[in-house]
Chains A and B, each alone.
Chain A
Amino acid sequence: MSVRSELLKGILDGCMLAVIEKETVYGYELSAKLHQVGLDDVSEGTIYPVLLRLQKNKWITGEMRASESGPRRKYYTLTEEGKEALSFIRSEWGKLAVPVNVLLKGETGDGDN
């Protein structure tokens, strides 16, 4: 497994929550969106165990509906608890990303980004 996918594993929950926060999506759409932003070395199937776990945590709810074009899809929406979890993950990631950038990239860390 590549270093990148190892690193991604821990934060994939957060990434998926962020996609679902923006809009209600179904599985294929969700994996396409992850690929679009550049997370293209996650195998598509990886999202399903994570989706199950997020549902178990009650961070998202899934509803099975038939779409107009025919296929039956399960659409995922963020719950209130999910929003809280996502904002927590965001702040935790921020605390990690800034110092890691400082160390690995030599950024000064007191800039605006």
Chain B
Amino acid sequence: MVTTKELIRENNEKREQLTEENEQYYTNMLVYIRSKFLLSERATEELLMEMLEHLLEGQNDGKSAEKIFGGDPRAYADEVIAQMPKEKKKNQLLFGIQLIFSVLGWMVIARGAILGVLSFIKPVDEHLYLASTAAMVVAVLMMTVFGVLLLMNMVNKTAFEEKKSTWKFAIIGGISGVLVFGLFMGIAFFFKGRGPAIEFPWLASLLVGFVMLLLSQWLARKNEGTS
């Protein structure tokens, strides 16, 4: 059976055969449906492929996307979404764990790399303070979830806008960036050296980070296989 990833790749290739007008109509709908949270990814991609093949065949017969799917693409997409199966709970959980491993992996790698470089310049404190670390991890994970939800929501809201207002994205992105940076600096400052300390050298940090990323990759592949 064809994998979901292959369907996405094929979709990208086949979309190029659409006329400009049909491509616009179809891509808006694709973005809108894909950005809907918690829909089964497999079912989403199968449906998008079906609709694309239908549109291509209709295009050959001289029909427009508007004729096939109607004059109100958002209403039509909502009608379709209402009938779409949700992602299985197990896959949602696997995706969550995968995201956590990936975020933590990069965090730990970044720590290892920074300490590693600094250690050549001056002596560094290679201890991990449990309370400080816990605070930082919770903050980063919460920000990640919040950021992903915010982004998906914005993409969803703007999918059918005539002129994609990139400046809106830029402003919201910039403000969130500053806020997040400030939050992290605050945590780093107020939670400095709190809790019991354990030694965690920079090289070990790099290694653990890589293992976490590998685990995340492995989970992603496992998830792909079952959905």
| Chain A interface (Cβ < 8 Å from any Cβ of B) | 26-28, 31, 43-45, 48-49, 52-53, 56, 62, 64, 66, 71-74
Residues of B within 8 A of A62 (CB): 46
The minimal Cβ–Cβ distance linking A15 to chain B, given in whole angstroms, is 17
Determine which of A44, A52, A64, A66 lies in contact with B54 in the assembled complex, contact meaning CB atoms within 8 Å: A44
Residues of B within 8 A of A31 (CB): 54
Determine which of A26, A44, A66 lies in contact with B68 in the assembled complex, contact meaning CB atoms within 8 Å: A44
B63-84 CB contacts (< 8 Å) to partner A: 63, 67-70, 76, 79-80, 82-84
| Chain B interface (Cβ < 8 Å from any Cβ of A) | 1-2, 7, 10, 43, 46-47, 49-51, 53-54, 56-58, 63, 67-70, 76, 79-80, 82-85
Closest 7 CB pairs of A and B: A52-B83, A45-B69, A44-B68, A28-B57, A49-B79, A49-B83, A53-B83
Determine which of B1, B54, B63 lies in contact with A27 in the assembled complex, contact meaning CB atoms within 8 Å: B54
The minimal Cβ–Cβ distance linking B43 to chain A, given in whole angstroms, is 8
Are the C-beta atoms of B56 and A71 separated by less than 8 Å?
A: yes
What are 16 A-to-B residue pairs whose CB atoms are below 8 Å? A27-B53, A44-B63, A45-B51, A45-B54, A45-B69, A45-B70, A48-B47, A48-B51, A52-B43, A52-B47, A52-B83, A56-B85, A62-B46, A64-B49, A71-B56, A73-B50
Are the C-beta atoms of B67 and A43 separated by less than 8 Å?
A: yes
Q: How far apart sit A52 and B48, CA to CA, in the bound complex (Å)? A: 12
Q: How far apart sit A73 and B68, CA to CA, in the bound complex (Å)? A: 17
The minimal Cβ–Cβ distance linking B120 to chain A, given in whole angstroms, is 54
Residues of A within 8 A of B53 (CB): 26-28, 71-73
With A48-B51, A66-B2, A74-B49 already in contact, 8 other A-B pairs whose C-beta atoms are closer than 8 Å: A28-B57, A31-B54, A44-B68, A45-B68, A64-B1, A64-B2, A71-B56, A74-B46
Known contacts: A64-B49, A74-B46, A74-B50. The answer to whether A43 contacts B2 by CB under 8 A is no
The minimal Cβ–Cβ distance linking A29 to chain B, given in whole angstroms, is 9
